[in-house]
Amino acid sequence: MFFAFRNFLRQNKWVVVGVLGAVLAFIGGGGLSVVSIPHLLTADAPYHLDYAWQIYQGRLPQFSMGPTMPADVSMHTYHLTGHHPPLYYGIIAPFVGPFIAAGSWEMATIIGRVMTLGIGVLSLLALAWTGWIVGGRYRKMLAVAAPAIAATFVPFVLVSSAIYSDGLLVLMSILAFALSALLLYRGPRPWNIMCLAIVLLLGMATRVSFTSMLAVALVAVLSSCIIHGKGTLSKNLLKGGGYAAAMGLLVVVGIGWFYYFHNFEASGSLLTNRIDTVEHVRRFKSFPDVITSKNLWYLVPFGLFGHSLQRLEDFTLNQWLSYLVFLVGVSGSMVWFAKQKLRGFFQKANRETMLVGTMFIAYSGLVFTQQIVYATGYGMYNPRYLLPAWVVAGVVIGMGMLIWQKKGLIAVAAMAAGWAAVIKWLVYILVTEAHLSIERGWFHMLQSAAADNGFPAATIPILLTTTAAGVLLVGMSLWRLSPE
């Protein structure tokens, strides 16, 4: 197995170089957020950290008891994140708990952020694998372009550089999607079935919003047995249904206890342990209010890169860049699909690709529906809630970029522009929310913000150089991998 892996690396060295470039750029760009964002600026940050602290103390947080972290931090008397499943917090608890116990919650925050950034790196590697699985004859380039572009999405950078369980949700969603696609392409091989079952359990142990991926994956298992099965239709259905039922049972047995005993018994709902609501801080929105709100429909094309200080008409420059990247990427993939697949829609050779495309559309639709459901009532519109589908959509956007320009120049330009947008977003956050001055320029402001978090001034240029080196490696990789 070792020799096979070594041969793979030798035969695909420019893929390895490109993926390494995407990871380096992410470490540099995400690292800027890790070191410069104030410890408590990200929403609900103290509560996520307190959850890890309570896990370290051997208990789950209760809504009515509130945070118990020994830190001089202003927090509510009730717990805002205690309804989330415990997997992410259990991962970081052994590392952040000792520092909280020693009275250094600031250091615990930094350690938690770095660990979450590591989860983000794993997400990019998983996305590269996804691009390899679904990319066909473009798979080498797509394995590079997909993570290179998706890594720049600001919501992904945010959750990967702060103490959020969303980052682990993204990783599990990508892995589940990749394994589901593998089943559709190759059939229900036992090893892939087992791996997918474990990922589904871990996903539901991370966030309840993983249910959309759970549903899609179980349908993919059933579909795989039908199209690849050698028996009759009824036997294939029975086999697929058995696999899906067993996987669902594993999830219920493995993590169902949390949703019932921790959430349902406290609130009467499997989704939350909150007894109260947030009427006092948010306006009630009916279902018609939500689906007719421009804030909902702007999330998809305008939400990839957050905000910036510079505005053009009704949107910031970052929002316009998001619209451009989304338009170019999605339209390119549609052109490729129309040329390569639509003419052979009913051909057996295209069947698996059609099913994978349908799976992506269904998953994206379910995630968007979850946002609608959450916003109805006292919820909110948040690009972060669409993030798992967005990162998977990096494959679609990356493919579209490659179709328009085979040498990968458009993909590299989108990547470079994306990291510039990340810096603009950081500046926007530090100016509007941390109230730092930009009079001496954005570079000095980032250095000042990093110094406030205890990092030396040299940290910022090192991280910027790392990002630039990553972009360069991706450009070299795509150029060498492109068709002559």
pLDDT band at 370 (very low <50, low <70, confident <90, very high): very high
> Residue 274's beta-bridge partner residues?
none
Rg, Å, the chain Cα set? 23
∠ CA 109-447-23, nearest 5°, is: 65
Query: What percentage of the chain has pLDDT greater than the value 70?
Result: 94
Query: What percentage of the chain has pLDDT greater than the value 90?
Result: 74
pLDDT at 271 over 80: no
Cβ 108 vs Cβ 79: under 8 Å: no
Tokens standing for residue 141? 């380039």
pLDDT band at 311 (very low <50, low <70, confident <90, very high): very high
pLDDT band at 362 (very low <50, low <70, confident <90, very high): very high
pLDDT at 346 over 60: no
Reported as a single tens digit per residue, the pLDDT across 239-266 is 999 999 999 999 999 999 999 988 888 7
Give the burial string for 156-194 (b: 16+ CB within 10 Å, else e): bbbbbbbbbbbbbbbbbbbbbbbbbbbbbbeebeeebbe
Q: How far is CA 341 from CA 12, 337, 347, 388, in A?
A: 27, 5, 9, 26
List CB contacts of 146: < 8 A, sequence separation 6 or more. 127, 128, 130, 131, 394, 395, 397, 398, 399
The pLDDT, as a whole number, for residue 484 is 58
pLDDT at 345 over 60: no
The pLDDT, as a whole number, for residue 40 is 75
CA distance 246 to 400: 37
Residue 437 phi, psi (nearest 5): -90, 140
The pLDDT, as a whole number, for residue 65 is 81
Select from 423, 468, 390 the least CA-distant residue to 310: 423
pLDDT band at 351 (very low <50, low <70, confident <90, very high): confident
Residue 315 phi, psi (nearest 5): -130, 160
Residue type, 236: N
- pTM score, whole prediction: 0.95
The pLDDT, as a whole number, for residue 41 is 67
Every domain of the chain and the residues it spans: 12-481
The pLDDT, as a whole number, for residue 266 is 78
Place of tokens 């750029």: 25
Reported as a single tens digit per residue, the pLDDT across 17-47 is 999 999 999 999 999 999 999 987 666 888 8
Mean of the per-residue pLDDT values of the chain: 91
The pLDDT, as a whole number, for residue 349 is 56
Cβ 299 vs Cβ 383: under 8 Å: yes
pLDDT at 275 over 80: no
Select from 37, 45, 92, 46 the least CA-distant residue to 69: 46
Reported as a single tens digit per residue, the pLDDT across 57-94 is 999 998 878 888 887 777 777 788 889 999 999 999 99
Reported as a single tens digit per residue, the pLDDT across 97-148 is 999 999 999 999 999 999 999 999 999 999 999 999 999 889 999 999 999 9
Reported as a single tens digit per residue, the pLDDT across 397-451 is 999 999 887 788 999 999 999 999 999 999 999 999 999 999 999 999 999 999 9
Tokens standing for residue 308? 């910036």
CA distance 138 to 483: 9
Cβ 483 vs Cβ 406: under 8 Å: yes
For the chain, how many residues are written?
Answer: 484
pLDDT at 278 over 70: no
The pLDDT, as a whole number, for residue 4 is 67
CA distance 306 to 378: 22
CA distance 203 to 166: 11
Range from 176-180, 283-287, 320-324, 431-435 carrying the lowest mean pLDDT: 283-287
